[in-house]
Amino acid sequence: MVSSEPDPTPDLERDDPTGPARDELDRLFSLAYEELRRLAASVRRGDPGCSVTPTVLVNEAWIKLANSPHFAVESKLHFKRIAARAMRQILVEAARRRNADKRGGGMAVVTFDDALEMGASTPDDVLALHAALEELAGINPRQAQMVECRFFGGLDIPETAALLDISEATVLRDWRAARAWLASQLRPK
């Protein structure tokens, strides 16, 4: 995005305790957030020679941050969980901004290319997914976290299992149900 429009500071709702631990997590989150935002620039490219997956992004962010002296995190897995959350936050903010742009300026006449119009409903989808995940977190926090890690963080099944300390079979089961539920929530009513 054009830099004349500064990004707001992340204000994600936190599910962690208060005190020093929370400060530490805040800091980690900010670092991951900044780094991912930077890396997301490469996702935004349309070039064929430059297809970057979220897994790659998160890995790169990890490599970069893990070498930073200010960055103390017990494991890469732990970091990936933070990164997944940061990625979700980035996309949600971008989607909100897109919608604000679309509605706020009162500009009815903007000549978009057809091709560019294609993804125009995506911001709403992202916001809908975000809202549904929030609701899922109220019903089953573990499943919400699982979706966040797998979808936004690119964690695979063994990683997710290890992170949540459950079996891979449980991951598969939980995922399928969560996915089905989210799909039912996201479908146009």
Q: Which of 22, 27, 75, 119 binds other proteins (CB under 8 A)?
A: 119
Length of the chain (residues):
189
Residue 108 within binding range of other proteins, rule CB under 8 A? no
Q: Is there binding between residue 8 and other proteins (CB under 8 A)?
A: no
Site residues for other proteins, window 15-54 (CB under 8 A)? 38-54
Closer of 74 and 109 to other proteins (Cβ): 109
- For 102, the token pair is 């679309």
Contact flag: residue 157 with other proteins (CB under 8 A): no
Half-sphere exposure of 58 (CA within 13 A, CB side): 25
d(C-alpha 75, C-alpha 60), whole Å: 15
Q: Which of 25, 32, 126, 144 binds other proteins (CB under 8 A)?
A: 126
Name residue 7's amino acid.
D
In angstroms, what is the minimal distance from the CB of 18 to other proteins?
A: 24
Residue 125 contacts other proteins per CB under 8 A: yes
Six token digits for residue 73: 């995190």
Q: Measured between alpha carbons, how far is 51 from 127 in angstroms, rounded to an integer?
A: 24
Asked whether 61 and 35 are in contact (CB, 8 A), the reply is yes
Instruction: Specify the residue, 10 or 154, whose C-beta has the smaller distance to other proteins.
Output: 154
Question: In whole angstroms, what separates CA 71 from the centre of its chain?
Answer: 20
What's the Cα-to-Cα distance from 57 to each of 45, 61, 80, 151, rounded to whole Å?
13, 6, 10, 13
Range 131-150, binding other proteins (CB under 8 A): 139-140, 147
- Token digits for 139? 């019903």
Nearer to other proteins, 26 or 60 (CB): 60
CA–CA distances in Å: residue 189 to residues 121, 134, 161, 181: 16, 19, 33, 14
Is residue 5 a contact residue for other proteins (CB under 8 A)?
A: yes
* Residue 139 C-beta: closest distance to other proteins, Å: 5
Interface positions with other proteins (CB under 8 A): 1-5, 38-54, 56, 59-60, 63-64, 87, 91, 94-95, 98, 100-102, 104-105, 107, 110-113, 116, 118-119, 122-123, 125-126, 128-129, 139-140, 147, 151-152, 154, 173, 176-177, 179-187
